[in-house]
Amino acid sequence: MATNIREIQLKYSNQQKCLNLLEKLRWGKTVTCPNCDKNKIRVVDPLKKRYICKSCNEQFSVFTDTIFEGTLLELPIWFQIIALVLNAKSGMAANEIKRHMGITYKTAYYVAMRIRIGMLEDCTCLNGIIEMDESYFGGKHRQFHRGIKDEHPTISGVELKRGRGTNKVSVAGMVQRKGKVKTKIIEKLTKRNLLAMLKTYAKKENSILVTDGFRSYKELEKYIDRLEINHSKAFSKGIVHVNTIEGFWSYVKNGIRGSYKVISKKYLPLYLLEYEWKFNHRFYRCNEFEKYLKNALKHDKALHNWKAESTQQVKKLVYNQ
């Protein structure tokens, strides 16, 4: 159940109320040092709720080792932006956050990226009927006319084509029927890489994998029971289909096209995290806002120097769980 902005404004109207909620979600009734996990602490600043640990003599607050660490933006504004992002099922661009909240674009982008980092959940093993498919992210398919090909360069410098064999970014995805979805950027869709992803995110026992006829999936039969749908003949045959994961790809691409227009390969994993979270919590009927905050408090301020981070570091952050 989503939380509307009006409710957030009334319930968390000042910094103290926001801090109290974060402490409750992170520590419960007993404040614990994030450095040594001891609860022998002394209050240093009651207004900002800063503490010092009597065991390791380190100062800390509820912000320490979270996505909020080092922020100068007031928590009520943070909370309102989080509610906006969670309620925007197709995504919300930084420019739109900027217009809603009256902040700079740089601040809006910075907060939005940290919010996406907070959507990183612990690896949940998929079970039952699992669909697996791949998709490709990049520019549109280019149809060049004879003699003017060089006048329409692409990012990669070559013509973009659709489907397998393209030079776009390849992303593999797995979804449990009526369950959760997991995605991963895989540069080469080999049987070895797909098997590694399958072993990471799926339980072998009491599970059936459903794929299309891509040859790299055939080798997965040695690890798990597999059903195959031949798309040249039909797109569905009883329970044998990959319509759920293809629906997820459509949801992601329509969201990117409508809200973000263009995103870079470097930060694609973080945008995928956002769509994963929203898809995985589509049936959640409790307080999604507090659930998000509790999950976000487990993650530190990774990518605080996001301009200097490499693609490999982003992948390591998101996928090496």
For residue range 124-143, list pLDDT tens digits in order.
Answer: 789 999 999 999 998 665 55
Q: What is the pLDDT averaged over residues 98-106?
A: 96
Distances 167 to 40, 66, 238, 254 between C-alpha atoms, Å: 56, 36, 34, 20
Q: Verify that 159 and 277 share a domain, yes or no.
A: yes
Q: In this structure, is residue 302 part of a structural domain? A: no
Inform me whether the pLDDT recorded for 4 exceeds 80.
yes
DSSP code, position 277: H
Q: Could you tell me the pLDDT band of residue 115, with boundaries at 50, 70 and 90? A: very high
Q: In this structure, is residue 270 part of a structural domain? A: yes
Lowest average pLDDT, out of 70-84, 119-133, 233-247, 295-309, goes to 295-309
Give strand pairing partners of 41.
53
State the Cα–Cα distance between residues 189 and 191, nearest whole angstrom.
7
Q: What is the pTM of this model?
A: 0.85
Inform me whether the pLDDT recorded for 148 exceeds 50.
no
3-state class (DSSP) for residue 9: helix
State the Cα–Cα distance between residues 272 and 134, nearest whole angstrom.
13
Q: Verify that 259 and 158 share a domain, yes or no.
A: yes
* Higher pLDDT pick, 298 / 310: 298
Inform me whether the pLDDT recorded for 307 exceeds 60.
no
Q: Verify that 113 and 210 share a domain, yes or no.
A: no
* Residue that finishes a domain, picked among 268, 283, 298: 283
Top-confidence range, 113-117, 156-160, 260-264: 113-117
- Strands 181-185 and 169-176, how do they pair? antiparallel
Q: Verify that 25 and 79 share a domain, yes or no.
A: yes
Q: Verify that 134 and 255 share a domain, yes or no.
A: yes
The number of beta carbons lying within 10 Å of the beta carbon of residue 173 is 24
Q: Could you tell me the pLDDT band of residue 27, with boundaries at 50, 70 and 90? A: very high
Query: How high is the pLDDT of residue 234?
Result: 81
Q: What percent of the chain has pLDDT over 70?
A: 84
Q: Verify that 213 and 81 share a domain, yes or no.
A: no
Q: Could you tell me the pLDDT band of residue 151, with boundaries at 50, 70 and 90? A: very low
Helix, strand, coil tally for the chain in percent (to 5): 40, 15, 45
| pLDDT tens digits along 160-169 | 556 565 678 8
Tell me what the pLDDT averaged over the chain comes to. Answer: 85
Inform me whether the pLDDT recorded for 289 exceeds 90.
yes
Which domain does 86 fall in, by range? 5-30+65-117
* Higher pLDDT pick, 232 / 43: 43
The number of beta carbons lying within 10 Å of the beta carbon of residue 230 is 11
Q: Are 288 and 110 in contact (CB under 8 A)?
A: no
Q: What is the pLDDT averaged over residues 68-81?
A: 95
Tokens 């999604």 belong to residue: 288
Domains: count for the chain: 2
